A and B are shown apart, each in its own frame.
Chain A
Amino acid sequence: MDRLMWGILLLPLTGFLINSLGMRLSNRAVSLVGPGSVLLAFLCAVGSFFWLQGQHSSARHSDLVFWNWTLVAGQSRFHLDFGLLLDPLSSTMTLVITGVGFLILLYSVGYMHGESGYRRFFAEMDLFIFTMLLLVLADNYLWLLVGWAGVGLTSYLLIGYYFERPSAVAAARKAFVMNVIGDWGIMVALFMMLILFGTMNFSGVFNQVHTVPFDGRIITVMGLLLLVGAVAKSAQIPLYTWLPDAMEGPTPVSALIHAATMVTAGVYLVARSYPIYQHAPKALHVVALIGAVGTVYAAGMGLTSNDIKRILAYSTMSQIAYMFVGVGVAVYSAGMLHLVEHAFFKALLFMGAGAVMHAMQDELDIRRMGGLKEKLPFTHLAFFVGVLSIIGTPLFSGFSSKEEVIGSAFERASHGDPILWLVWGLAVVTALLTAVYMFRVFFLVFYGAPRDQHLFDHAHEAGPYMRVPMMALMALSVLGFFLAIPGVYNEMEAWLSPVFHSGYPGMGGPAIEPQAFSWISLVITLLVTAIGVFMAWRIYYRREPTPERVGAAVPGLYRLLANRYYMDEIYDAVIVRPIVFTFRLTSRYFEADLVDAAVDGTGALTRVLSGRLRRVQTGYVRNYALSIMFGAVLLVGYFIVGGR
């Protein structure tokens, strides 16, 4: 058992070390080590999953402590255990990370074929998987933060994979800076834990949460600070602008890091820290509201964007916002269920987008595509499955999880939490928008007349390395439906319930409800989704009314959405420019006039003062000898005359 857990963590690290140090590895060896190490880690994850299932549900918890750190400084005492934590929550995450990760790495073997820096790509992907696993297997917040920062770093490296493109470098830097804002939030929360509890271990913190005075205000602050980290990592309002730009990275990177795994770390953090949020109902409300507003907000940008990868990025943001709604209404297992199923269908959609780009010579603009169904029948099918999943069609994976999330919000709202009506309403509106913008992409890319004949003529289907993972994810996107059928059963809920009902002392706040189910919510959601599909079909397939006329009907709104709410410009004007301006000023006046003047002045002063003294150094030996002589005579004279 211990070996399995170490295997999960260390195998991808080994893959990274081999790939990064093996200067002479052939591409074939690299593509064996890269995905291979992750496949082995996946087998270890499966093994530990079955081990956990073999345990009694109350004993599904294994903390493999390998190092204790104790500090005693005067009165205060600080204790920290470093270990690997395996429970249903972290087991689920390891399965997603290694499973989907392996499929995407396999896809990369085909997609990245012939790229320069092939070995670097696989080394960095392995490193990413290692740090992500560290994040979910850590049993204390400090170690979690190490993995958290590690995924930020590898995300930076992989966004900037094409480092000869200035736009990629700028995007990488933007992502890194925004993630560091989140790291700051978590760090401050950690300092609070240190002062309040003297530990950062999950169990130590959660057992003491109820002892904090000031009727939960401090815990609310702590929850909000953790949320800052979650929001930055998961690209939610207001720290989301890095995610669309992050699409500068290779498509498999977007699939793995910026869709399936890393960006969902924020949801994991909130779910993992649920005892803190149970004591901070206000912080939990903020989580739900950020999620709800984020769903609509991101979907709006998805409606007008013309870049296939950016549309998927906005849909990722929107779907993660759904997960935030799930955990924000204290139905943590609904959020986690959506996390898992989203990993399946979003990775599939990105792979489909990658296959389209591959066929269209890296063209991203959906206005230049069209009619690709006959050229790319397989990709068309895969994309169709992904679209059906993301909009929540019954019998596809997104259906169960999305209905659970929206239904939970509905139930919580109708049981005396009126602010959640707003959350529910926004989530339902997003269901409509999701159907519109996903089918918009689908129709524009695969149907209608080809809008760029040259690109169309050269389009060709992707190779087997890319098709096999897509098939696997298509199967998962369908099978994901059976993880939970609303109103019938919920495997995920049952599996995760030991984690979320472990009963830490003094658990306050809103009750952790089992995933609720409501026919009303289900029917309404399905209805608006159908309306959305119909609208997309009319506008983008039949073209009556044409998209241009629809856009012209609401020119102000269209411009707002097409310019992404001007948020990049606002950040630029409010934050970036003042900072650059201030630093220009300081470099002009403080640096040049003050610091440089002081440094140069010291040198000039020394030169002036020593101008006379340097004459003493004549360079003639006999002058030195004479002065030695003179000194000796003085000394001797001193001792003879009066020194005795």
Chain B
Amino acid sequence: MTPGSEHFLILSAILFTVGALGVLTRRDPLIMFMSIELMLNAVNLTFVTFSHYLGSADGQVFVFIIMTVAAAEVVVGLALIVSIFQRTSRIDVDELDEMRG
């Protein structure tokens, strides 16, 4: 049985849900980052699937852009994590609540 478009979309939905739950439940920023990457790539998979299904290259162009942005975001995010770590020596996002109203 060759996988059809619907299989890819289901996989993508599962990946996205896993990523979202990871962001919402985990307190380690590194894990949160990985979860965000998971969500982004789930979206990428959706784009590629629809691109293939519709026979258009538009979706794949978006994928490249998302990958580029994701790379840049990781750079900034990791730099933030490093500097937070230098300051507190523990990494727990729930302790970073200085901006509480």
Q: Which residues of A contact B (CB under 8 A)?
A: 613-622, 625-626, 629
Contact yes or no, B96 A621, CB < 8 A: yes
Contact yes or no, B24 A622, CB < 8 A: yes
Shortest distance between the CB of A39 and any CB in chain B (Å): 70
- Size class of the B contact interface (CB-based, 8 Å): 10 to 19
**In the complex with contacts A626-B24, A629-B20, A621-B101 CB distance below 8 A:** no
* Beta-carbon contacts under 8 Å, B67-101 to A: 93-94, 96-101
Contact yes or no, B24 A619, CB < 8 A: no
Q: Which 4 A-B pairs have CB atoms at the shortest separation, nearest pair first?
A: A619-B97, A617-B101, A614-B101, A619-B100
Mask of B4-39 contacts with A, CB within 8 angstroms, 1/0: 000000000000000010011101000010000000
Shortest distance between the CB of A590 and any CB in chain B (Å): 36
Shortest distance between the CB of A631 and any CB in chain B (Å): 13
Contact yes or no, B23 A615, CB < 8 A: no
Interface-central residue, B23, B100, B101, by most chain A CB under 10 Å:
B101
What is the interface of chain A mostly: helix, strand, loop, or mixed?
helix
Can you offer 9 A-B residue contacts whose CB atoms are under 8 A?
A614-B101, A617-B100, A619-B96, A620-B93, A620-B94, A620-B97, A622-B24, A622-B94, A625-B23
B100 contacts across to A, CB distance below 8 A: 617-619
B23 contacts across to A, CB distance below 8 A: 622, 625
Q: What CA separation (Å) do A613 and B101 show in the bound complex?
A: 8
Q: What CA separation (Å) do A607 and B59 show in the bound complex?
A: 49
A621 contacts across to B, CB distance below 8 A: 32, 93-94, 96
Interface-central residue, A614, A617, A619, A629, by most chain B CB under 10 Å:
A619
Q: What CA separation (Å) do A618 and B94 show in the bound complex?
A: 10
Contact yes or no, A615 B101, CB < 8 A: yes
Shortest distance between the CB of A622 and any CB in chain B (Å): 5
A625 contacts across to B, CB distance below 8 A: 23-24
A626 contacts across to B, CB distance below 8 A: 24
B27 contacts across to A, CB distance below 8 A: 622
Q: What CA separation (Å) do A616 and B96 show in the bound complex?
A: 16
- What is the chain B residue whose CB lies nearest that of A614? B101
Q: What CA separation (Å) do A626 and B32 show in the bound complex?
A: 13
Q: What CA separation (Å) do A614 and B97 show in the bound complex?
A: 13
- What is the chain B residue whose CB lies nearest that of A611? B101
Q: What CA separation (Å) do A617 and B99 show in the bound complex?
A: 7
Contact yes or no, B20 A619, CB < 8 A: no
* Beta-carbon contacts under 8 Å, B35-69 to A: none
Contact yes or no, B97 A622, CB < 8 A: no
Interface-central residue, A613, A618, A620, A629, by most chain B CB under 10 Å:
A620
- Given pairs A618-B100, A619-B98, 20 additional interface contacts (CB within 8 A): A613-B101, A614-B101, A615-B101, A616-B101, A617-B100, A617-B101, A618-B97, A618-B101, A619-B97, A619-B100, A620-B93, A621-B93, A622-B23, A622-B24, A622-B25, A622-B94, A625-B23, A625-B24, A626-B24, A629-B24
Shortest distance between the CB of B68 and any CB in chain A (Å): 22
Q: What CA separation (Å) do A629 and B39 show in the bound complex?
A: 12
- What is the chain B residue whose CB lies nearest that of A613? B101
B98 contacts across to A, CB distance below 8 A: 619
Shortest distance between the CB of A489 and any CB in chain B (Å): 94
Interface-central residue, A613, A618, A621, A626, by most chain B CB under 10 Å:
A621
A619 contacts across to B, CB distance below 8 A: 96-101
Q: What CA separation (Å) do A622 and B32 show in the bound complex?
A: 10
B96 contacts across to A, CB distance below 8 A: 619, 621
